[in-house]
Structure 1
Amino acid sequence: MFYLLCGLNLPAQTVVYGIPTSKAQEKLIDEFIEVSQFKKALLQAASIKVSVLAMTANQTRKDSITQEDVTGILKEIYNDYNYKEKYYTEFATVTEKQLASLIKFYKENASLSKEGQYIFCPVNLFHNLDNDIQHATKSVLENKNKK
């Protein structure tokens, strides 16, 4: 069955995976994201990664990735990581008790999240972010090589 499905040329789709979250868990995830400045930190990490990739590409070929390209990649990433359901899926395995502890920790240590520099992040989410950035950057370079 697996090989049959892999052989089909199905269009790429976003698939929501994982266990469902309760309303109470979603409320805690929302609060955690707010008090920890999670999205801000994640997008800062994306900005740094895209800038490093652009500098590396531009060392080989001047203006391989322009500032306009960087802005476009970051807009794409922002749009992909700016909806709650993505975080609900990624934090679904964190219990309500654990979420409450994380919220308390960030509230008691507000300076950690003030600049969005220290976050608790599921490995899958960070891995997916890295893959999305790599793919977007590769796409920009491939399009420029076609010209």
Structure 2
Amino acid sequence: MKKTFFIFFAFISIFLLAQTPPPSVAIPKGNQEKLIDEFLEVSNYKKSLQEYSFTFLYSKMNKKINGKYVKVLDKNDLNLIVENFDYEKFKKQTLYNSFSIISEDKLKEMILFYKKIGGNLTERNELFFISTAINNNLTSLINQAAEEIITKKGF
């Protein structure tokens, strides 16, 4: 019995150790950070994130409580959340990571493209480059801020 247990344990250990580790966090290399900053500036990325945040928060304005929809956030709350959003911290923790997988040559092309079109794909700039990581991190932060306000209001 001990021998069988030992073989089973050894077998399971081999499979556990054979798994690949998660990918490491991408960090801008060389000239990438400067190019990412320039891209974010010429594409009005901060404004796009704000527009995206407002749209996302509109879906959080009403909450079903006791079978009825109750307005738990108003436009002032939405403005407060977006205005207090720490864009610089988000840029360093999420945007640099997400955009660092793009080559310097492609970043330069993207910068030229946005300069050529005047910085906006659409009038309100609600259409922009976004990754799953950017979306998940942004919506998580916004959700957290919204829930804090909702809790303070007693809902």
What is the TM-score with the length of structure 2 in the denominator? 0.67
Q: Partner of 1:101 in structure 2?
A: 109
C-alpha contact (below 8 Å) 2:26/2:98 kept by paired residues: no
Structure 1 residues 85 and 109: alpha-carbon distance in aligned structure 2, compared to 1, 3 A threshold = same
Normalized per residue, which structure has more strand? 2
Out of 114, 133, 136, the residue aligned to residue 127 of structure 1 is 136
Aligned-residue offset at 1:102: 1.2
Structure 1 residues 114 and 104, CA gap change in structure 2 (3 angstroms): farther
Aligned residue among 64, 89, 101 for 2:97: 89
Aligned length: 126
**1:11-50 superposed matches below 5 A:** 18-50=25-57
Q: Which has the larger radius of gyration?
A: 2
CA contact (8 A) 2:57 2:78 kept: yes
Q: CA offsets per residue over residues 102-135 of structure 1, 9 Å max, x none?
A: 1122223335266423311222112211122222
Residues 68-96 of structure 1: CA deviation (Å, up to 9, x unaligned): 432332233x22x2344232222121111
2:40 alignment partner, SS class: helix
SS of structure 2 residue aligned to 1:61: strand
Segment drifting more, 126-135 vs 112-121: 112-121
In structure 1, runs of 5+ residues without a counterpart are: 1-16
Tell me which amino acid in the other structure corresponds to 1:28.
L
CA distance 1:109–1:66, shift in 2 (3 Å): closer
The residue identity in structure 1 corresponding to 2:108 is A
Say if 2:31 and 2:104, in contact at 8 Å, map to a contact too: yes
- Displacement, 1:51? 2.5
Identity %: 27
Seen in structure 2, the aligned counterparts of structure 1 residues 89 and 143 have a Cα distance that, compared at 3 Å, is same
Match of 1:145 among 146, 149, 154: 154
The answer to which structure has the higher helix fraction is: 1
| 1:60 maps to amino acid | Y
Question: Structure 1 residue aligned with 2:125, among 98, 113, 116?
Answer: 116
- Give the C-alpha shift of residue 35 in structure 1: 1.2
Residue identity in the other structure for 1:112: L
